[in-house]
Amino acid sequence: MDSWFPFESGIYDVSPGLRALAGPVFLLEGFERYRRERLAARASRTIYMESGCPARTKAAAATFIASRLCAERPDLFETSGGRLRCRLTGDAVPAGGESLEELLLQVCEDVAVFQVATEGEHLAAASIALPSSWRLEEKIGRGFAAIHQPVPGMKLAPAAAIARSLAAKGPYERYAWGLTNEDRLDQYAPVHAEVQPEPLFIRVERQTMHPLPGCGAWLFTIRPSNTPAERLTQGQREALARALESMTPAQAAYKGVEGTRQAVAVKLRGG
């Protein structure tokens, strides 16, 4: 279970909330489940897409991923002969940018790459198998502000400026949260279904950001997890109820609790 939840302030907040990365990039807890759901997603739809991603950026992303895996878990990953070998899967995949799609199947996280240029930034490549009610095909090739246009309360211009700066800053991490009634990591659809009081899971995304030197780009990882509400402490349940009550009507609608948040809050408080 996550040891820290982003709703513990009792206020729903869509500010960037970046902080210095305080741990490994890639987490391997629950690897078998993440792997299973990622492969199932790939069997049912396209999970890897590119749009204007230079070869040097793909190479830099591949180098970063392979080097971090080997540094963080040398007992499970090694590179030899230009291949990354994973003892968890038994795979030996090319460690270069030409096989970025296959390389990304060796981790739990979804991964995206943003390319930054004078005229702006755009989502240049991504492997998204475990989204929280969004579709990669609607986001690929778009700028950061356009991708987040549907998010009520987000200040898009400052957020886009931060996104452009990440090609030279970091690494950072942040956490985002939502509620769901299904304990699935892959929540491609339905989009923002109305959340009922039970069964209730708190869905937290651990997101990390890393500059890719020499190519004007940055890499973004997303690792979702679902925690049953009954595992929360009473203090956490109260904070979550207050965070729901702090949402504007537009935010409540976006998070799928427009008509149910009071019932959810009552349930969290033991009602």
pLDDT in tens, 4-46: 689 999 999 988 889 999 999 999 999 999 999 999 999 999 9
Which pLDDT belongs to residue 4?
67
Name the least confident of 10-14, 108-112, 117-121, 200-204.
117-121
DSSP, collapsed to helix, strand or coil, labels residue 166 as: coil
More confident residue, 98 or 202: 202
pLDDT, position 19: 95
Mean pLDDT of 198-216: 96
pLDDT of 72 reads 98
Helix intervals (H) in 25-131: 31-44, 55-72, 100-103
Q: What is the pLDDT of residue 1?
A: 40
Instruction: Give the pLDDT mean for 186-191.
Output: 79
Residue ranges per structural domain of the chain: 19-268
pLDDT given at position 160: 83
Tell how strand 83-86 and strand 77-80 pair up. Answer: antiparallel
CA dist., res. 222 & res. 134, Å (int): 13
* φ and ψ of 131, to 5 deg: -75, 160
Lateral strand order in the sheet of 83-86: 77-80, 83-86, 92-94
pLDDT at 2 (0 to 100): 47
Q: Kindly report, residue by residue over 251-264, the tens digit of the pLDDT.
A: 999 999 999 999 99
Query: Lowest mean pLDDT: which of 129-138, 185-194, 200-209, 236-245?
Result: 185-194
More confident residue, 193 or 101: 101
- pLDDT computed for residue 176 by the predictor: 93
Mean per-residue pLDDT, 77-106: 94
| Mean pLDDT for the chain overall | 93
Angstrom CA distances, 200 to 65, 166, 181, stand at: 34, 35, 5
Confidence of residue 150 (pLDDT cuts 50, 70, 90): confident
DSSP code, position 132: B
Banded model confidence at residue 190, pLDDT cuts 50, 70, 90: low
What gap in Å lies between CA 225 and CA 171, rounded to an integer? 21
Query: How many angstroms separate the CA atoms of 270 and 258, rounded?
Result: 20
Q: CA neighbours within 13 Å on the CB side: how many for 258?
A: 9
pLDDT for 142 equals: 95
Q: Would you place residue 123 in the very low, low, confident or very high pLDDT band (cuts 50, 70, 90)?
A: very high
Q: What single letter denotes the amino acid at residue 186?
A: D
pLDDT > 90 in the chain, percent: 84
- For 223-229, what is the mean pLDDT? 96
Residue type, 124: A
pLDDT tens column, 154-183? 887 888 898 899 999 999 999 999 999 999
What's the confidence (pLDDT) of residue 149?
Answer: 81
